Chain A
């Protein structure tokens, strides 16, 4: 710690060069923070606490093909299934065709199976009692300025009412909260109402959700469920909620691959760039390092000084970059709200980022530090 002023003096020796190096480190970690913020949204989906205790049963040909409601009575008898819910993707738009809602018709006990969606008991009671009730995510409600008690007219994407009209109206009875903005997007209304009022799609269910006591038994229970409808005209595929979500996302794009390829290119460039700066900095200071050694600094002491300098350089730039990324995500979320698939730059991103900073600092410092360590005092003082 007592050498900090010395290291600081080395960094501020050429202010302009240090500034530009910091700027490029900053740019690299700004990008790192932003990309990881997007990436963590997708890698965390389906990893919520409740997900391990849930199985999803969909049609084997995909969740856009419905299953018969009659399966319900068979599913509840499967050993290991504690509770059963069922949903149908409905889909709608609000006011304009571009405002697409994730509208889903859900069975009454839906919220019992999704404990991570927090709902007040009063709202829950109103949902049970009101035929046309809808519960929406907090982020969605903020986006359209909806309040409890509002009547919300939506235009259905798929299902007309019995009179042929695609206009449906729901009564907003509650707002649920979840741990991230992307999970607060749903528009959930009573399946019973859908079943009574829709012109077609009645007695059909988009997918079933089973609550199980032991996540370890998931494979066996899923096998028993799928055996019920094997070789029928509505074969099912059952998997854990996490597997379901992971599969859906991997179909969109292999996001992790793209993010890691970009970060690979960025960090490779960064290592070369700061490495060059450090090499220059050490080369210029060879006589000074010789003086340090004359004063009694050991070889390892000099090694430590140079390594600390390079780590400090990367950590300062990187920390500012990550702070900036956090700020950018915050501002973007304020402006675009729910549509933005970004997580706040939190603990896990910082942890990963700081590890990368220290590692890069050590890598780029290694060669120059070694050079400083191996200096012979006579040569160094002569500037050779």
Chain B
């Protein structure tokens, strides 16, 4: 009894350690283990025995396709769901991350949580622009863009559902503040006119945004004159002249926020201190990297946890399925294994061969799952309401790292599903096994 309990405990510990090792090991470690294993298989006598047992086991695979496909499909399901959900979170996060940089700062009213709840008056705008850390254009103008953000409702293409879209009024120096923004069709808006340029994601997602079309908001009619590509979250927005947007949406002379190009990334702390030290200003500054990361943090975190929980529960099911299949596989080969033991093969190679078979099936399942996720979602675009109650359009991002994470899960499930059947195969009493029909 005591021996049995101890054995069970040892097996449990081995399982936990194995899973922890697979998940925690970096890929280089897993590759090293695989190389060592291959060397052992090829070079030693017991290694070659493992190869022959594994080969004879694999030869029976076509006869138990049902069981094998349970392992593969079960694990493919887990990995597919995990990779898809993580890709959604990754896509959302990198959309925001690409929006920020260390040498641009965003200034908000002190205490405001986001642009949409912030406001700055004309005097603050002027004072902020005069700080020495602000970069200047070749003409000597401060590279700052006072901006107004308002939400307007546009129908989605396809469904026609009204969606809040952000309209951003930007200052005349915005092209110097955000040099990565390129016009990819049409032209820039003229200041003073009711003209808008549309981000490339917004143009794809929302109706009435083609160049030349007219948009009516609150009795004002706007003309779309260009399309821009910023490579980040601004692609979900429409841009116009800050004064015109402010007037049309009853914002008076105050603006929502101010984005500032600094003389360099190191200038930020001095800039922040200069704003804090100015008694006329009640504002706070963040680098845009910091600001956009904080805006996306909650949702990114939520999606990641969701993916882990859903895949974790599915993994329990997959482990149970793999255990069933591998127990069945081992018991179908009872006589064969007992014969091998009788002619002098030891337990070790039997254990290793069952483990290798399960891990190979698991790896196949993982690759299938990751591939399905990649095929379905590599160009998938989703939209959600972002932190400012307006649409954020983003693409799922299936990176090699995410697929690697999925494969690690597959290996961990295979490890758990193979370990116990392998141990049973090795501990099977030889005489009984030989008598089995």
Contacts and interface: CB of A to CB of B under 8 A. Distances in A.
Contact of B77 (A61, A64, A252, A268): A268
A20 B73 CA distance: 16
Nearest to B69: A272
B83 to A, nearest CB: 12
A272 B153 contact: no
A234 B150 CA distance: 14
Contacts of B73: 268-269, 272-273
A247 B161 contact: yes
B81 A265 contact: yes
B384 A157 contact: no
A250 interface: yes
A374 interface: no
Interface in A274-311: 276-277, 279-280
Nearest to A16: B327
B231 to A, nearest CB: 23
Contacts of A65: 150-152, 218, 249-250
A21 B218 contact: no
**Most chain-A Cβ atoms within 10 A of its Cβ — which of B116, B218, B327?**
B218
A273 B313 contact: no
A27 B317 contact: yes
Contacts of B382: 253-254
B437 to A, nearest CB: 9
B384 A251 contact: yes
A30 interface: yes
Nearest to A32: B313
A273 B384 contact: no
B81 A166 contact: no
B117 A158 contact: yes
B80 interface: yes
A190 interface: no
A354 to B, nearest CB: 19
A276 B220 CA distance: 65
Nearest to B114: A157
A327 interface: no
Contacts of B112: 157
Nearest to B219: A233
Interface stretch (B128-136, B318-326, B403-411): B318-326
B389 interface: yes
Nearest to B321: A273
Interface in B123-156: 150-153
A231 to B, nearest CB: 6
B250 to A, nearest CB: 8
A231 B218 CA distance: 7
A232 B162 contact: no
A64 B328 contact: no
B219 A64 contact: no
Nearest to B252: A200
B428 interface: no
B74 A64 contact: no
Contact of A17 (B69, B77, B318, B324): B324
Contacts of A91: 117
B308 interface: no
**Most chain-A Cβ atoms within 10 A of its Cβ — which of B164, B317, B320?**
B317
Interface residues of B, number: 48
Given A61-B150, A265-B77, A20 B318 contact: no
Contacts of B77: 265-266, 268-269
A383 B397 CA distance: 54
Contact of A157 (B117, B152, B391): B117
Interface in A226-261: 231-235, 237, 247, 250-254
A52 to B, nearest CB: 20
A128 B250 CA distance: 32
B321 A20 contact: yes
Interface in A21-59: 21, 23-28, 30-31, 34-35, 59
A60 interface: yes
Nearest to A249: B385
Contacts of A266: 77, 81, 314, 317
B161 A61 contact: no
Nearest to A267: B77
Interface string B374-405: 00000000111100010100000000000000
A97 interface: yes
B218 A20 contact: no
**Most chain-A Cβ atoms within 10 A of its Cβ — which of B116, B161, B309, B324?**
B324
A270 interface: yes
B389 A64 contact: yes
A5 B67 CA distance: 28
A279 B164 CA distance: 53
Given A234-B218, A265-B80, A270 B317 contact: yes
Contacts of A251: 161, 163-164, 383-385, 391
Contact of A64 (B81, B164, B318, B321): B164
B20 to A, nearest CB: 21
A270 B198 CA distance: 46
**Most chain-A Cβ atoms within 10 A of its Cβ — which of B67, B69, B150, B153?**
B153
B316 interface: yes
B70 interface: yes
Contact of A23 (B67, B111, B314, B320): B320
Given A251-B163, A251-B164, A252-B384, A20 B150 contact: no
A254 B250 CA distance: 33
Contact of B320 (A27, A262, A268): A27
B36 interface: no
**Most chain-B Cβ atoms within 10 A of its Cβ — which of A23, A25, A64, A166?**
A64
B310 A59 contact: no
A233 B219 CA distance: 5
B113 A157 contact: yes
A63 B152 CA distance: 9
B218 A59 contact: yes
A265 B66 CA distance: 18
B217 interface: yes
B295 to A, nearest CB: 13
Contacts of B324: 17, 20-21, 273, 276-277
21 contacts: A20-B320, A23-B316, A27-B313, A28-B317, A31-B310, A31-B313, A34-B309, A35-B310, A61-B153, A61-B249, A62-B151, A62-B389, A64-B116, A65-B151, A232-B218, A247-B161, A247-B162, A265-B77, A266-B314, A272-B73, A276-B67
Given A24-B316, A34-B313, A64-B164, 4 more contacts: A20-B320, A65-B218, A155-B111, A266-B81
Cβ-closest 6 pairs across A and B? A27-B317, A24-B317, A23-B320, A20-B320, A24-B320, A269-B77
